[in-house]
Amino acid sequence: MTRMTANRRHPEGVRRLGRVTRAYLARRYTLLFYSLLLTLGAGPLIAAVGGDPAVIFWFLGVNLVAAVLGVEARPRWRPLLVSAVVFFVLARLVAVALDSPRLIVTSLVLWVVIAVLAAAQALRFAMRARRIDAEHVYAALSAYLLAGFFCGVLYRVIESAWPGSFATAGTVATFSIQNAIYFSFVTLATLGYGDIVPHTEVARGIAIVEAVAGQLYLAVLIARLVSLYTYEISRERD
C-alpha cells in the first residue's frame, strides 16, 4: 500500500517540477534582466554603505548561473552546463580563500568566457524571433548588460595582471571591481567621462572593441525590432 502511494506521488512530483521548469524557461530572460539590474544597483549601494566590494562577485556568480540556465541545450546537457558554472564560481571562492592571484585571475577569465557565450546565446535567441514579444526584448537587453558587466570583470583582470593598465583621476582612488564595471558601462555607452583612462595597448584595444560593439549592437537591435514591427503591421493589414 505504501509502495503504491509512493509511486503515485512520484509522477506528481515530476510533473510539478516539469511545470516549474517550463515556467522558468518561458521567462528566463525576464528574470535574468531584472537580476542584472539588481546587480547594477547593488554595486553603488555596497560602496555607499562601506560594504565589502567582493560581495559584487556573489551577485555576478548568481547572474552567471542564471545566464547559463537560459542557454538552449538538450535537457541532458543543461545540468552539466550549470554544474560547470557552479564549479567555476566555487573555484573563484577557493582562489580567494587561498589568496592565490593566479587562481583568482584564471577563475575570472573563465567567468568572462562563459558570460560571452551566454550573451551570444541570448542575442541569438533575440535575433531569431519571428515576432516581437517581451521575452525576446529582455534577451537582447540581457545580452547588452552581460557584456557590460563581464567586460568590467575583464578590465579588472587586466589591471590585476598588468598593474597600471588604467589610470584614475579625481575622486576615483583605486581600480576596484565596482570602478571596473563603471568604466565598462561608460565605455559601452560611449560616454567617456575621462575619470578612468586605459593606458596600455591591451586595455585600450578592448575598450575600443567594447565601444564599437556597443554602438553596432544598438543599431542592429533597433533595426531588427523595427523591421519585425513593420512586418507584423503589414501582415495584419493584409
**Tens-binned pLDDT, residue by residue, of the chain (238 aa):** 444 444 455 566 666 656 766 777 778 899 999 999 999 998 888 878 877 777 888 888 888 888 887 776 555 556 666 677 777 777 776 776 666 777 778 878 888 888 888 888 888 888 887 777 888 888 989 999 999 999 999 999 999 888 889 988 765 567 888 889 999 999 999 888 888 999 999 999 999 999 999 999 888 887 777 777 676 666 666 6
Gap between the Cα atoms of 178 and 129, Å rounded: 34
Write down the number of H helices and E strands in the chain. 8, 2
What grid cell was written down for 185? 558601462
In the chain, what is the straight-line distance between the N-terminal and C-terminal CA atoms, in Å? 62
CA dihedral 101, 107, 110, 114 (to 10 degrees): -140
The pTM score is 0.82
* Amino acid letter for position 224: R
Gap between the Cα atoms of 81 and 73, Å rounded: 9
Gap between the Cα atoms of 95 and 13, Å rounded: 38
| Residue 157 half-sphere exposure toward CB, CA atoms < 13 A | 21
| Residue 154 half-sphere exposure toward CB, CA atoms < 13 A | 23
